[in-house]
Structure 1
Amino acid sequence: MENQKRNGGSRKPKKEEGRALRFLSAIERAGNKLPDPFMLFIYLAVIIAIVSWVMSMLGVSVTTPENEVVEVNNMLSKEGLIFALSSMLDNFTGFAPLGLVLVMMFGIGLAQHVGFFEVVMRGMVANIPKSLITYMVIFTGVLGNIASDASMVIIPPLAAMIYYSVGKHPIAGLLTAFVAVSAGFTANFMIAGTDVLLSGISTEVIQGQYSDARAVSPLDNWYFMAASTIMLVFVVAFISKKLIEPRLGEYNPEFADKSILTAQIEKLRPEQKRGIRNAFIAAGVYLILVSLLILPSNGLLRGENGEVLQSPFLSNIVPLILMLFIILAVSYGFTAGTLKKISDIPEKMGAAMKEMSGFIVLVFAAAQFIAYFEWTNISTIISVNGSIALENMNMTGIGAMVGFTIISSIVNLFITSGSALWALLAPVFLPMFYQLGYDPAYTQVAFRIGDSAFNILSPMNPYVVMLLGFMKRYDKRSGLGTLMSLMLPFALLILAAWIIMFVIWSLLGLQVGPGVDIRL
């Protein structure tokens, strides 16, 4: 322990670092061999076409539970070629997540570009009692995913400075904040862009194969993800306090970049404080007005017979959330001075859209792959045979879902884009579990757990490299093995805790979202 204090706890035994580095290096080598996600979907579409030709030649078919015989459609036939050409634009423009995500980003992107999210996050973690610092950093990090990747750049270095200023190990703050943002990326009290994106892909897949299936709403995982936010705060805090901080020991600034130790947390300026105040007041007025359209039994946003679950309110939740973010951004921007004139609003929205160009390009390829997968009926054949195989193995319960969560975690080490990974896995697993009677929104929850927990382990995640850069500023001896040995307990224990929560939630039969049961 004494030696650990002298070296600041940032160096681990060589044998341990060796194992960690070999593990990371193997993942990195395998991941680097994968093509860019755009090209990955192009290659998969080509593979689907070839496989459909082979399966068609072999006369492969399946009988559905409705006693309908489904045969493989050949993508390399005349009909397949015509389908590929005639559906290309519709596959892209009609892809459910595209419009939903772009619309959401008008509001979220505007709030980000006027500085609203950064100021709120800084305000949340500054000037808090030392005993609550860990919990507040984690809470802010988990909620920070609403600002997308910006939170990964803002919160960890800010947490490190706060930890150092109160005599705690800055690397502990850095890592704890990064884990909260990255491993907790899918949890939140609010509906975020992730909810819109994943639910859109789920709807595209499940309705493409089962036309009578209901659409998956951005609200359909809200209960589980809101509860996950609370769980993550306490689990991450426990790991940080009981495992990471003791392991790091007392901080030794001898090996630090001196400039980082003298860095000061920028205090909020008066106009920024007024901006936050006015933004929340305006948002409060907006929420009251929306409530007046929902709470009365004859409210304008209620459905037939006063229904709330089947109502214009829930079916139009994305435009309502968009307006909320625009109100927050505009109120803050004009008060704080980051917006000078009305024309600045579309300009900053346009800047946010430029950042979505990579997503738009990816969607084009993913949409073609999913459309081909469904048109060839390969998805139906896999889902029916897969569900039959699970039934024969007596794996039709929670165990199968937990297995899917673990698969998602492992694959996430190589494909870090949540949207790309879900677009890849959803066409196979959503119909398979749908055949077993599970609601697609429930299957989506199982994926989100696995996708999030292992984000912090993947060397393919560019923010892991950024994190290592920050670590080296506080201790130049830090290496990838050091980082890995500290991240591994977080990843494994968070995944275990989340799976336990998922199992208990399932056993109790709780809804994962408003009106969304586990079973169909």
Structure 2
Amino acid sequence: MTKKQKFNTVKLLDKIEVIGNKLPHPVTIFVLFTLAVIILSHILYIMGVSVSFRGVNNETMETEMLTVEAISLLTSEGIAHIFSSVVNNFTSFVALGPVLVAMLGVGVAEKSGYISAIMTNTVSKAPKKWVTPIVVLMGVLSNVAASVGYVVLIPLGAIIFLGFKRHPLAGLSAAFAGVSGGYSANLIIGTNDPILAGITTEAARILNVDYVVHPTDNWFFMFASTFLIVVIGTLITDKLVEPKLGQYFPTDGASAKQTSITPLEKKGLRWANISILLTMIALALLVIPENAPLRGEGGSLASSPFMSSIIFIMMLIFLVPGIVYGMITKTVRSDKDVANLMASSLETMAGFIVLIFFAAQFVALFNYTNLGTIIAVKGAGVLEAIHLDGVFLLVAFIVITTFINIFIAADTAKWAIMAPIFVPMFMQMGISPEVTQVAYRVGDASTNIISPLMPFFPLVVAFAQRYGKENGVGTVVSLMLPHAIAILVIWTIFFIIWFLLGIPVGPDTSLTY
């Protein structure tokens, strides 16, 4: 790329950044959308808009032809509903409780230093030929603890590559590709899963009031996707990004560092990992035996206390080793410290809680007015008329999500807007909410790494500038664009193959509705 091309790229991205920064805060966007729902509901009510479709009668629980009419929020009854339902809309929002409970455990593990230590130890001890895949893998796995990957692993990836006398920006790009490009993939259930599942559940209940999407319902696909993202990230880093960068000559303050954990931290890791093993054994005894207390009726695991308690189990799996590690490394000295770490982790969720309050009002009022059902049925009719269905419909949805993601980077905020429209619409087309959620996650993650509007993008640029003051937005985008294109194309193809083969995306899930 010539200097002129680089200048033009940076100039274009700067314009996009300026436009993006002028967009309202996501909270304001939800307020505006809620006002739009209020006005639109009254217009459709006056027009007498209604739709008929085959669905589940919530009273008889039988499938039959149903007729739904638009309900106005500007009648006396509608206005009363707006004011009287605010608290219940917020406290009953499905995504709220699970993520706060999970963060009690994840927060202790993160803030005691356990997660940071295990990532540092794993990456720094990797053999040279395995450095890239290990960095990408740890990046993918780091999304279980929300933002820790951005803050810890991305700069660590650059330092590790520098320690192996490789270009630090190649390490930064590999870590960034794993942390953000593969954000939804993981080997275990992360904090993002219950949030998205909760929003999808709310959207699915527009058509079926008893429908539930569990945090584990995308696990099969995301587990397999983890290895796919690692392969993509490794090949792009080693074959395209690093050769393009050439040899790196350290500048002041950017000399190679040997990153490793201290003997005390190693001891903490050892005992923390032992505590995880013991916790898993204890949980297994509550699940595996035929008459175990966490099994369901007839010994079932699909509909069982085990599945219902997955969030609490996830909390324990992070809480126990976090406490053990903290006690050994002295970051936890008493029960007061544990409570303080929990409180501190919830403080980081303050912005999420505020956002959820307004998102909950939008989703609840959207459902109350029947706008979701009307749009879903009408939209499904249009899609049927143009014969766009099945896999082509899902690919189109991935492309739409990818485009929107460049301008609205917050995945949960974006899904809270999109889910009430697309989930019931696709249900009308015979596609299950779980599959729609997977398609959303593929499109959402792919362009995170090239969006200057993504909240952590400026932080990544700052990390890049440690290795050259001239490195800016254009530098990072040019590094990450090959990753973004490869992840989007290959992950979409992988999703198509998965869907066509009829493989469930999670335990006890269906591809069709």
Give your verdict on TM over 0.5: yes
Once residues 439 and 11 of structure 2 are traced to their aligned partners in structure 1, the CA distance between those partners, rounded to angstroms, is 29
Distance apart, 1:472 and its partner CA: 1.9
Q: Is the 8 A contact 1:30 1:414 kept in 2?
A: no
* Aligned partner letter, 2:413: A
The one of 245, 248, 252 aligned to 1:251: 248
Q: Name the counterpart of 1:289.
A: 282
The one of 40, 44, 57 aligned to 1:55: 44
Runs of 4 or more consecutive aligned structure 1 residues displaced over 6 Å after TM superposition: none
Q: Is the 8 A contact 2:296 2:304 kept in 1?
A: yes
Q: Name the counterpart of 2:468.
A: 475
Once residues 442 and 195 of structure 2 are traced to their aligned partners in structure 1, the CA distance between those partners, rounded to angstroms, is 16
Q: Name the counterpart of 1:500.
A: 493
Once residues 492 and 457 of structure 2 are traced to their aligned partners in structure 1, the CA distance between those partners, rounded to angstroms, is 24
The one of 149, 152, 176 aligned to 2:147: 149
Matches within 5 A, 1:26-425: 26-65=15-54, 66-213=64-211, 215-253=212-250, 256=251, 258-261=252-255, 264-425=257-418
Distance apart, 1:266 and its partner CA: 4.1
Q: Secondary structure at the match of 2:68?
A: strand
Q: Considering Cα pairs closer than 8 Å and 6+ residues apart, tell me whether 1 or 2 has the greater RCO.
A: 1
Distance apart, 1:335 and its partner CA: 1.4
The RMSD of aligned alpha carbons is 1.4
TM-score (norm 2): 0.96
Q: Is the 8 A contact 1:169 1:251 kept in 2?
A: yes
Matches within 5 A, 1:446-457: 446-457=439-450
Q: Name the counterpart of 1:8.
A: none
Q: Is the 8 A contact 1:20 1:484 kept in 2?
A: no
Q: Name the counterpart of 2:478.
A: 485
TM-score (norm 1): 0.94
Once residues 56 and 26 of structure 1 are traced to their aligned partners in structure 2, the CA distance between those partners, rounded to angstroms, is 41
Q: Is the 8 A contact 1:457 1:488 kept in 2?
A: yes
Once residues 354 and 479 of structure 1 are traced to their aligned partners in structure 2, the CA distance between those partners, rounded to angstroms, is 31
| Cα deviation digits, residues 268-315 of structure 1 (max 9, x gap) | 112211111111111111111211222222222111111111111112
* Aligned partner letter, 1:43: L
| Cα deviation digits, residues 414-435 of structure 1 (max 9, x gap) | 1111110110100100100111
Pick which of 57-66 and 374-383 moved more.
57-66
Q: Secondary structure at the match of 1:67?
A: strand
* Aligned partner letter, 2:23: L
Distance apart, 1:208 and its partner CA: 4.4
**Residues 515/438 of structure 1: CA separation in 2 closer, same or farther (3 Å cut):** same
Q: Is the 8 A contact 1:189 1:226 kept in 2?
A: yes
Q: Secondary structure at the match of 1:492?
A: helix
Once residues 169 and 91 of structure 2 are traced to their aligned partners in structure 1, the CA distance between those partners, rounded to angstroms, is 45
Q: Secondary structure at the match of 1:514?
A: coil
Q: Is the 8 A contact 1:209 1:374 kept in 2?
A: no
Once residues 50 and 17 of structure 2 are traced to their aligned partners in structure 1, the CA distance between those partners, rounded to angstroms, is 39
Distance apart, 1:479 and its partner CA: 2.8
Distance apart, 1:56 and its partner CA: 1.5
Q: Secondary structure at the match of 2:253?
A: helix
* Aligned partner letter, 1:38: V
| Cα deviation digits, residues 30-81 of structure 1 (max 9, x gap) | 3223210111101100011111111122222211234322211111111110
Once residues 37 and 359 of structure 2 are traced to their aligned partners in structure 1, the CA distance between those partners, rounded to angstroms, is 13
Q: Is the 8 A contact 2:163 2:258 kept in 1?
A: no
Q: Secondary structure at the match of 2:51?
A: strand
* Aligned partner letter, 2:121: G
Once residues 18 and 389 of structure 1 are traced to their aligned partners in structure 2, the CA distance between those partners, rounded to angstroms, is 44
Once residues 494 and 171 of structure 2 are traced to their aligned partners in structure 1, the CA distance between those partners, rounded to angstroms, is 26
- Segments of 5+ residues of structure 2 without an aligned counterpart are 55-63
Q: Is the 8 A contact 1:27 1:413 kept in 2?
A: no
Identical aligned pairs, as a percentage? 40
Once residues 220 and 19 of structure 1 are traced to their aligned partners in structure 2, the CA distance between those partners, rounded to angstroms, is 44
| Cα deviation digits, residues 302-329 of structure 1 (max 9, x gap) | 1111111111111211111111111111
Q: Secondary structure at the match of 1:293?
A: helix
Once residues 259 and 334 of structure 2 are traced to their aligned partners in structure 1, the CA distance between those partners, rounded to angstroms, is 26
Q: Secondary structure at the match of 2:450?
A: coil
Q: Is the 8 A contact 2:294 2:305 kept in 1?
A: yes
Once residues 164 and 340 of structure 2 are traced to their aligned partners in structure 1, the CA distance between those partners, rounded to angstroms, is 41
| Cα deviation digits, residues 191-241 of structure 1 (max 9, x gap) | 11000111111112222442132x111100000001010000001111111
Matched, 1:427 2:420: yes
Once residues 170 and 107 of structure 1 are traced to their aligned partners in structure 2, the CA distance between those partners, rounded to angstroms, is 33
Distance apart, 1:19 and its partner CA: 4.7
Aligned residues: 504
Pick which of 486-495 and 475-484 moved more.
475-484
